[in-house]
Structures are given as structure tokens and as C-alpha cells.
Structure 1
């Protein structure tokens, strides 16, 4: 795989530890990008901690529970059972807490003046969040970053575990799939990355699921059953006859595997991709763009396995989204990072949607407009559960109502007179 800019620091680290001539006595893993940290750890274990001696040479230590003096003592003491020691040291931030920590840093300085050549220390500074563009780093994280480099940078190599750039994430998806003889369509790769907010751990997990999905046996149509596409086409266009062509086993030439991931596969298998379409719908609704909102509604239903039968699930997500916007509006949230303080666990949106949802919530001028939207969704939900003649019409009417400016309540003098009484 060609080297990607976002992976350059990790690739350099992997190359360094592979040779005793370039291996440094310690490294600092700076950042909270778990995917890149996992790559570093796997490379260290594969190169320096073989499985047959791993129980004797690998140490996972936490500075919140183990003092730096004990960590350095372990690093300095050779093992009788393994030729090399690997020590992962978490919670580096405790070294930079309250107090001067002169004794701790003096001990660190003394160790690195004569380090054990048969030991590797890996300090994990996952309390820092490093963005793709270092110039956009949070001021507090930047201060911590510089302080670590000033105090440990002379002795330790630094590995920046920054957020992966979206374009690099897309290239990783396509090239990794190609290395496993599977084609990943570019638009499918972009949708996967965009819908998961370029979170590489989530992307890697969904990527594996998609590869299993397209490399496994394809579902064979059952004789006499109308395919999903034909069923959804019937309610999309009344001109299509209800007598859709039925699949015959004799004419079925579907291969056992297709070894290709398409945009439809991502939309089918990745929940966040479905949610992304929903947030696009609420964006059109909040902007009062009725034509776009209707088009997005049809696209959302077409992508659903159950077609209009999945309508109640979509209504639930719509109601949930408007409730989220109501809280954002009431708490006057302007910064996406503040969302995690006002929305509780289990009621938060995916990271990629935070900024968009704040923008959508600000389009509503009052709490009354958002509660009106929630009431409209509740009314449509009740109507759908009452087995209407045409579910699509119920959904289309709801979207039109949500996308229309509410009419002002007409002034009634009798109400004013009643209030005065």
C-alpha cells in the first residue's frame, strides 16, 4: 500500500523499531487516534515481543497505579525469561499534574543517560486530541503537546497519532480492499468515510463487515417471490403493474460472490449511512425546501429494505432528531463540542452530524416551531399505525407540513377578553 500522509508518522515508527540500529530507548505515542495506536502496538508486539515469550516480556503499566520510579526500575532490570522488555506506560498526564515533579523528571533523566538497550518504553499520551491539521489544535492540547516534547523529546521519539484525513481514509479503504481482491467503488468508499466522520476504528470495523457481506454467498431469489426492487417500484410509480416479473431459477445467473462493494451496499449495511440520509432530510425540512425534502424522502424509502413498511422506524428517527434540536435550541448550543454536555449517552447523534444539527436547530425561531414539528410527527405515527390506505401519502403530507412555515394564529378578541376576566 502506498504511504499516506496521515499514516506517515506511524509508518516511520514501524520502520525504526524493525532495526536495532534505529530503535530508540523510548517513544511517546501522542494522540487519541485508537486506530493508529493499534497499528503501533501490533507492530511492536510482532517485532519485539514474540508470542512464546510475551507473558514474560510485555508489561502494561498505568502511572495512576504505578509510580514512574517503579516503571523505570522494571525497565532497568533484565528479565531471566525473555531477552527483551516492552513496557507500555499509560496515563502520561499524571506526570504533568499538580506539583513540580522534580524528583520524577530527575529519575527519568538519569535513566535515559544510561538506558537499558534490551528494553523499550512506550509512553501513551492519549489525553491529547490532535486534529488532521496541527494548526487547528485546541490551545490547551497544544500547550500539553509542547510541554511533553520539551521534557521528554530529547530522549524519546515522538509518534503523532493525529486524526486521519478524509481523503487518506478513502484511499485506505480502496487500497486495502484491492489487496484482498475486492473492488471498493470510490463513491461507496467516500460514503463510508463521510457517514462515520472519518473515525478510523469505526471505518475499519464496518469495512470488515462489508467485505464479508460481498464475499459471502449471494442471496438467491426464491421462485414466485417479487424482488425488493420490484416491490418498492410498485408504490413509487403507480404506472408499474402489480404483476411484476417473477424470478425464475432457470434464468438466475447471479454469481456466488460479487467481490465488489457498491454505494448501495454501504447504505444497506452501515447504519450511519442511513442516518446520514435522514439528517439530509431534516436539513431540507429546516430550510423549507419542499421539493428537495420530498426527493430525499423517496430516496430514504427506496434505500430501505422494507420500503414504506419501514416508515414507522423513519418517523421514530425524525422525532428523535427534532427532540435533539429542541434541546440544542433551548441550551443555546453553538459549539459541537458542547453537545456532549447537553445530550446524554444514548441520545447523541453521530459525530459527523453534530455541526449540521446545530445549524438546523438555529433555523427554527422558537421552541414552539420545534414542538409543532414533534406533534406533526406524532400525528403521522398515529395515522400509520391505524392502517391507512396509502402510507406513502401520509409520509408525503407530513414532509410537506414540516417544510411549510407555520401559519400565525389568528387574533381572536374573545380570547383577550377571557384573559382579562
Structure 2
């Protein structure tokens, strides 16, 4: 995110490079940088003659170079944007000669999503020398919560830890999807608002009472009635609560609990980063570690491996989601 802000600040300051090669597994920042350049380098009057969008599946490197070498019309520069450039991965090295001597009055933006160039290649070195080479890496899920906080802070909002964790849990590390959902909330909620689990439930559709965090809490505190109620809800709503995901998350909870048992320093503030847990949820682990001795946790982890295999359809063709969820809880609580 800091690198993205630096590129945008440089553009605002008038430090404009002739090539922006945007590559990587995370499309969110590639899209944002591409949109920013499209919207801000040229005036509306200049765009008609001087802004060209090319799609990788419909063009060749020769087409791109030909467009990039044109001179702008009645403007200081032109912008050439290549979307879906990964479609040209087999011939992308042909861009070498242009990257070695790019047209100074052209801003060439290459959106190379889901892939990266081999950094040992001459093309990479030429782009880095004469332009901007940006790699957009996927965030790990334990980094997404901080990303959400920073994004909302920049937009004038804040978010409660549980609401933040709900977004990460249900949307994973798909930054574009998370951003789209936050856009919807911004339309409804006033600036300065702190987003709550209720806001998430009412406006995005995730239940604040029947979700994996509440299931985790019920299991950790040995609240069997609550756990079975949530399991029933999951069984009745399998599309919103896939069994494979539920089992995986419960398995992850107990693996972290096993790791927690093995820590010498069990202070929640010290343990949270080691376990990769939002500090807000450490209270659940503090309760669970008292309810589940290490030997029991090891046994549960082994049982959950079996349930995980069954949840993927191996050796459990006749068992329903409800039966497997019930089996999972029986093995945990007994």
C-alpha cells in the first residue's frame, strides 16, 4: 500500500514515467493504479485523441509498440493502457526494445494481472531503469484486517474488531471484493461511523449470531447448546456456510490452541502475534486453553482431520452436512 501511495504521490507531483508495468497475483492495486492514471494524467478534452485502451487478447506486442510510439495530438503526452496484458505472456519479451528506449511523450501502462515477470530477465531490468515496475502481492489473511483498518481510516471510518474479523473470515484476502462491500457500507453509513457486526449483518448479509466466530466461541467455552444451534443453522444454510470451510476453520482454531499450549509466555499480548490471532479474540483462546488440556486438543486435531476428509466426500457419501457437523461436535465435546 505504501508503494502504491508513493507512485500516486509522484504522479500528483508531476513525476511521470514513460512505462508503468503493473504485475502480480493481487489485481486490486493493479486496477487502482491503472484507473488513477486513466483518470488523472490527461484532461477530459485531451483523452479523446490521446488515450488508448488495448486488451491483451485482441492485440500483439507490435500493436502496443506502434500505439506507444505515436506522438500526442494537441497535448503534452498520450496515455496507452494495456489491460489483461497477461494474455501476452508468451510474447511479452518483445517489449524489450521499446522498454530500452521508450517514447518520452507516452505513458504506457501494462496491467499484467495474476502473473509476474522473471526478475532475471532483461525486460524487467529495462522497465525498472526507465519506468516503474510494480508487483502487487497477495496479502496473507492475517494482514487483511490491518489493511481494512487503514483503508477505512483513509475514507473517514473505523471498524470494530469483530466486524473486521467477520469481513476477513467471510471474504478472505480478496481485496477487490472487500473494497466493493465497504463501498456499499459507505453509501449507507455516515462518515465518521464505526462499523459494527450489526452493520455487516444488515447490509452485507453475514449473520452476527450464526457465524464461525460464534461457533468457535461456543466450542471454546464448552457451550454445547449454542454450538449445536449454530451447527443446525449452518446445516440449513449450506451455501452460506460450506462444510469444508467450517471444518477447516475449527481445525485451525484447535491447531492454534495446541500452539498456545506450547508457548512459554502465555500473556495474550505476546501470544496473539505468534498465533496470528486478532488480539480481540484472544479471550476465546484464554477460555479454551482452560477447558481443553493439551492431550485433549491433540486428540481433537486428529479427529478433525478425519472429519475434514469426510467433508470432502471421501468415505462419507451417505452422511449429510448436519450429520458431519454433529459428529464433529460430538468428538470435540466428548
Normalising by the residue count of structure 2, what TM-score does the alignment of the two structures yield?
0.63
The answer to whether 1:185 aligns with 2:160 is yes
How many residue pairs get aligned? The number is: 274
Alignment of 1:5-404 (within 5 A): 7-20=1-14, 22-93=15-86, 96-97=89-90, 104-105=94-95, 107-108=97-98, 112-113=100-101, 115-128=102-115, 144-147=118-121, 149-150=124-125, 152-164=127-139, 166=141, 169-178=144-153, 181-215=156-190, 259-271=193-205, 277=211, 281=215, 291=222, 294-298=225-229, 300=230, 314-317=235-238, 321-322=242-243, 360-362=307-309, 367=314, 369=316, 371-374=318-321, 376=323, 403-404=329-330
Contact 2:18–2:131 (8 Å) recurs in 1 = yes
Contact 1:319–1:374 (8 Å) recurs in 2 = no
What are the Cα deviations for residues 179-226 of structure 1, in whole angstroms up to 9, with x where unaligned?
A: 5554422332232233211321111122122334444xxxxxxxxxxx
What are the Cα deviations for residues 68-93 of structure 1, in whole angstroms up to 9, with x where unaligned?
A: 22322222221325432111123444
**Partner SS for 1:317:** coil
Contact 2:198–2:208 (8 Å) recurs in 1 = no
Contact 1:373–1:402 (8 Å) recurs in 2 = no
After TM superposition, give the deviation of residue 274 of structure 1 in Å.
Answer: 6.5
**Partner SS for 1:372:** coil
**Partner SS for 2:109:** strand
Q: Unmatched 5+ residue regions in structure 2?
A: 247-303
After TM superposition, give the deviation of residue 29 of structure 1 in Å.
Answer: 0.1
Q: Unmatched 5+ residue regions in structure 1?
A: 1-6, 129-140, 216-256, 302-310, 326-356, 378-398, 406-421
Contact 1:188–1:261 (8 Å) recurs in 2 = yes
Cα 1:81–1:260 shift into 2, 3 Å: same
In 2, Cα distance between equivalents of 1:91 and 1:270: 30
Cα 1:75–1:272 shift into 2, 3 Å: same
After TM superposition, give the deviation of residue 155 of structure 1 in Å.
Answer: 3.2
Contact 1:57–1:79 (8 Å) recurs in 2 = yes
Larger Rg: 1
Cα 1:314–1:268 shift into 2, 3 Å: farther
